[in-house]
């Protein structure tokens, strides 16, 4: 296990007339983070939806048509992330992407890329009302944990972070770091995810990272308004911030937020902390309502 410098995106939704415009944007983001020594880059939920702009107004103004059109460039999107991860020798959690399945349904999928290829993907497991009722994105059914040179890493996509048993299984499987790509259009939505992230960090005594989409994209039917602050959350105990927020972005502009994480601190605080939230979790199961 190594110390880890992480770059968390507060990512603006762009508009492109050509693929090269998107490729240049992503390369610049990755280059900037690599220049600051980042080893793991985290992009948000549905940041990929800016690619719908490539297909014209008839497509990007229709929730169903944009999903179908984006499948044609999914291989190119993957190849670009793989090339950048290899070129800069780092890990990239790509912005989540709606990926069509054999039965025609779509899953909201976040993929972790490394210098040697795809490390793995996590599908969103609990869908919001918008995804269920308007966009018709389906739920995944597998909880995953990924082995990296920095240790085990897990992913909770946005709303998933609000359901504690998902993260708990990942932490029990060895994850000390949970990445939470998010996309919220209101302050209430942002704070729901933030509170979920902080609760997961507290109860599991682990690091949780939130990367949101940012700004206004009035042209987009899917991601028109984006609210949030890139943040890194910690246990609330000796050696960590009193409010459990290690670092956070501002509300004025997109960009990277950086943090240096010593993942060995997770084992320390679980053994030496003021409280033992991680250890005491099973105690709940013995308690019954009378």
Catalytic residue among 2, 17, 25, 45: 45
Whether 127 and 135 have beta carbons less than 8 Å apart is answered as: no
Whether 107 and 70 have beta carbons less than 8 Å apart is answered as: no
For residue 2, indicate whether it is catalytic. Answer: no
Whether 154 and 146 have beta carbons less than 8 Å apart is answered as: yes
Nearest to 57 by CA among 218, 282, 288, 242: 218
| Element at 123 (helix H, strand E) | strand 117-123
φ and ψ at residue 35, rounded to 5 degrees: -65, -20
Catalytic residue among 124, 183, 221, 265: 124
Whether 105 and 68 have beta carbons less than 8 Å apart is answered as: no
For residue 45, indicate whether it is catalytic. Answer: yes
Catalytic residue among 50, 131, 158, 206: 158
Q: Are strands 207-216 and 177-182 parallel, antiparallel or unpaired?
A: parallel
For residue 131, indicate whether it is catalytic. Answer: no
DSSP 34: H
Nearest to 183 by CA among 259, 288, 56, 97: 97
User: Which residues participate in catalysis according to the annotation?
Assistant: 45, 124, 158
């Amino acid at each position: 296990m190594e110390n880890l410098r992480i770059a968390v995106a507060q990512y603006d939704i762009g508009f492109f007339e050509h693929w090269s415009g998107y490729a240049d944007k992503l390369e610049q983001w990755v280059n900037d983070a690599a220049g600051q020594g980042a080893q793991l880059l985290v992009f948000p939920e549905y940041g990929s939806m800016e690619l719908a702009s490539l297909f014209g107004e008839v497509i990007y103004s229709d929730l169903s048509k944009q999903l179908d059109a984006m499948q044609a460039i999914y291989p190119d999107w993957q190849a670009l992330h793989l090339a950048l991860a290899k070129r800069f020798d780092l890990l990239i959690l790509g912005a989540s992407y709606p990926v069509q399945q054999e039965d025609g349904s779509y899953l909201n999928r976040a993929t972790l890329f490394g210098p040697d290829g795809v490390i793995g993907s996590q599908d969103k497991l609990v869908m919001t009302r918008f995804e269920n009722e308007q966009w018709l994105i389906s739920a995944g059914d597998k909880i995953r944990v990924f082995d990296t040179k920095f240790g085990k890493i897990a992913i909770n996509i946005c709303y998933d972070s609000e359901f504690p048993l998902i993260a708990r299984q990942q932490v029990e499987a060895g994850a000390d770091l949970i990445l939470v790509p998010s996309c919220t259009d209101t302050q209430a939505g942002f704070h729901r995810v933030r509170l979920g992230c902080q609760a997961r960090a507290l109860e599991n005594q682990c690091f949780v990272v939130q990367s949101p989409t940012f700004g206004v994209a009035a042209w987009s039917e899917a991601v028109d308004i984006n609210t949030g602050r890139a943040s890194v959350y910690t246990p609330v105990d000796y050696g960590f911030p009193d409010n459990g927020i290690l670092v956070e972005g501002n509300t004025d502009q997109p960009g990277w937020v950086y943090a240096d994480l010593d993942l060995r601190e997770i084992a320390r605080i679980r053994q030496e902390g003021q409280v033992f939230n991680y250890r005491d979790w099973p105690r709940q199961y013995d308690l019954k309502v009378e």
